[in-house]
Amino acid sequence: MVSQELLAFLVDLASKLSGYPPIPVDALPPVQVLSEAELAKAVCPDAAAGCTNIAATFETEHYVIYVRDTLDLENAADNSFLLHELVHVLQHKARGDAIFADCPTTLKTETEAYQAQNAYLKREGQFLRFGEALGFMSCAGEQNTFFTRDIMIDPLIVK
């Protein structure tokens, strides 16, 4: 299970590193730890087979964060994905469903979350960085499935 202490620590940093106002721990969505198969089914019920690369996701509709059970949440590299999702929670609190309204806005929303995640990794002395692929994405044709289907999915790009 995910401890309140870890959530308090991460949401405080998520706020500081992203610039979004903080929210109290008891206002956060519940965090559910799921297996790869359960996560794929929850996020992509119609195409679970093509949806196996997810580390964590924040589902605005159900107000829940799903985290993959293979993540070691004692480890900064792994719990940085939880921090990333907490940035989305703060974004959603501040700006509502508009954060994932269209491709350019989603790109901006994800860029903010990855910047906070990477700033956290740097602060924790980790050399991993995530989300570099976003820099190569454009919304022109919206060909990337990242944006065409479940745009709130955060793919596990490196790992």
Q: Provide the binding-site residues for Zn ion, judged by CB under 5 A.
A: 110, 113, 154
Can you tell me the distance from the alpha carbon of 74 to that of 128, in angstroms, rounded to the nearest whole number?
Answer: 16
Can you tell me the distance from the alpha carbon of 57 to that of 113, in angstroms, rounded to the nearest whole number?
Answer: 12
Of 93, 89, 66, nearest in space to 14 by CA = 89
Closer residue to Zn ion in complex, CB, 52/115? 115
**Smallest gap from residue 33 Cβ to Zn ion (A):** 18
**Smallest gap from residue 49 Cβ to Zn ion (A):** 22
Q: Which residue, judged by CB position, is nearest to Zn ion in the bound state?
A: 154
Can you tell me the distance from the alpha carbon of 110 to that of 115, in angstroms, rounded to the nearest whole number?
Answer: 8
Residues 6+ apart with CB under 8 A from 63: 29
Closer residue to Zn ion in complex, CB, 89/113? 113
**Smallest gap from residue 143 Cβ to Zn ion (A):** 19
**Smallest gap from residue 26 Cβ to Zn ion (A):** 23
CA angle 46, 50, 56 (to 5 degrees): 90
Closer residue to Zn ion in complex, CB, 73/90? 90
Closer residue to Zn ion in complex, CB, 73/92? 92
Can you tell me the distance from the alpha carbon of 45 to that of 62, in angstroms, rounded to the nearest whole number?
Answer: 14
